[in-house]
Amino acid sequence: MMLGALSLAWDPDKWTAPEEQKFFGDVQTWASHFLFDFGSKIVGREIELEWEWMSQAQFDALDVLYQANAPVVWDPQESGVPTFTVEVAQIEGKLFDVALWDQPYRKDVKVTLVIVAASELVLS
């Protein structure tokens, strides 16, 4: 899996399928309820990547992408899955209770990506 120029040494243990999501809004009035359906889209979809364990070096590299606050290309490198332009919206990972910052690993890491553009899907 690639995120920007970063080739992830450890692929996520779990991740959200990059599929279209229905976006809608609703408004309650005094006498009724209105539902605004914006249709299904992939742009705006949040993708969560999760690791049970991750090296501190990989966490730091992902944090650089998060701090840059700029779009990057996400390539899941899965058959039939296109690449996406995403922004890293959040990164979190727990420190160990006893060693804190000097451990070479993080646990329960979660990275949230937001799709801002999608490439064309090419079926083979």
Tell whether 28 is covered by a domain: no
111: region left, alpha or beta (phi > 0 left; psi from -120 to 50 alpha): beta
Tell whether 92 is covered by a domain: yes
Percent of the chain past pLDDT 90, that is, above it, reads 54
pTM: 0.81
Tell whether 48 is covered by a domain: yes
Domain, as residue range, for 93: 2-17+40-118
Checking if the pLDDT of 120 tops 50, the result is yes
Q: Using one digit for the tens of pLDDT, what is the confidence trace for 61-110? A: 999 999 999 999 999 988 788 899 999 999 999 887 665 566 688 899 99
| Tally of domains within the chain | 1
